[in-house]
């Protein structure tokens, strides 16, 4: 039986990418022949890093994963998946509160675009981490260094010093 290569996309805003995202990427890399990290925008959220910055940060983090690529997109996720000829959408699940939303999204994507969704549970230590929480904690002076990769943490601190000093005047070093 001939093996047909399977391409998956892992969509998200990744603003910023967290250790939980990287956990899902590394495990997804073992499951699929090709994995495209699809960096999009969430119109309901204010952007902390530009899309180009997010793509650049993620590319730096996945250089050791030869079958993983990182691209940005500006259309419906299912349209991007179709453009990439992806058969699967990879989604990370952190906890029970993700289930209802992700289930609804997966059913919609399958009905509208015929794309299947594969869920990967994040490791226990990342079950509570999300990008919004990381941004909020960082802006309030909290230590998020254990929640995001070190290179992202450095850029996050630079961003806060440069663009948000009026909000948090004493950002810890």
Question: Can you read off the two tokens belonging to residue 81?
Answer: 């998946």
Tell me, what's the pLDDT at 169? 46
How many residues make up the chain in this entry? 173
Asked if the structure places residue 144 within a domain, the reply is: no
| CA pair distance 158, 152, nearest whole angstrom | 10
Quick check: is 98 in a domain?
yes
Q: Please give the structure tokens belonging to residue 128.
A: 């509570």
Q: Give the residue numbers marked as catalytic.
A: 21, 45, 94, 131
All residues at 6 or more sequence positions from 13 whose CB lies less than 8 Å from its CB, including other chains: 39, 40, 41, 42, 45, 54, 131
Residue 160 lies in a domain: no
For residue 13, being part of any structural domain is answered with: yes
Cα dihedral sign for 47, 140, 93, 59?
Answer: positive
- Can you give the CATH number for the domain in which 40 is found? 3.40.50.620
Residue 114 lies in a domain: yes
Residue 153 lies in a domain: no
Domain range enclosing 46: 7-127
Helix (H) or strand (E) holding 9: strand 7-12
- Look at residue 101 in the predicted model and tell me its pLDDT: 87
Secondary structure of residue 120 in the 3-state scheme: strand
Has residue 135 been placed in a domain?
A: no
| 16 prior amide bond cis, ω within 30 | yes
Give me the residues of the chain with pLDDT under 50, please: 168-173
Residues near 15 by Cβ (< 8 Å), separated by ≥ 6? 42, 45, 47, 48, 49, 54, 131, 135
* Per-residue confidence (pLDDT) for residue 96, from 0 to 100: 78
pLDDT value of position 156: 94
DSSP E strands in 48-157: the ranges are 68-72, 88-93, 116-121
Q: Please give the tally of structural domains in the chain.
A: 1
Over residues 127-172, the pLDDT tens digits come to 888 999 999 999 888 999 999 999 999 999 998 888 766 554 444 4
Residue 171 lies in a domain: no
């Amino acid at each position: 039986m001939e093996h047909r290569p399977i391409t998956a996309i892992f969509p998200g805003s990744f603003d910023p990418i967290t250790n939980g995202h990287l956990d899902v990427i590394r495990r997804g890399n073992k499951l699929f022949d090709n994995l495209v990290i699809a960096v999009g925008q969430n119109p309901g959220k204010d952007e902390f890093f530009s899309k180009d910055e997010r793509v650049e940060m993620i590319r730096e983090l996945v250089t050791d994963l030869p079958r993983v690529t990182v691209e940005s997109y500006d259309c419906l996720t299912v349209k991007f998946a179709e453009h990439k000829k992806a058969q699967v959408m990879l989604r990370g699940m952190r906890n029970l509160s993700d289930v209802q939303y992700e289930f609804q999204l997966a059913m919609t994507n399958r009905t509208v675009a015929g794309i299947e969704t594969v869920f990967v549970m994040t490791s226990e230590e990342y079950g509570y981490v999300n990008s919004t929480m990381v941004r909020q904690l960082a802006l309030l002076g909290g230590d998020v260094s254990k929640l995001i990769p070190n290179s992202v943490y450095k850029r996050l601190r630079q961003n806060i010093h440069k663009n948000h000093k009026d909000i948090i005047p004493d950002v810890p070093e």
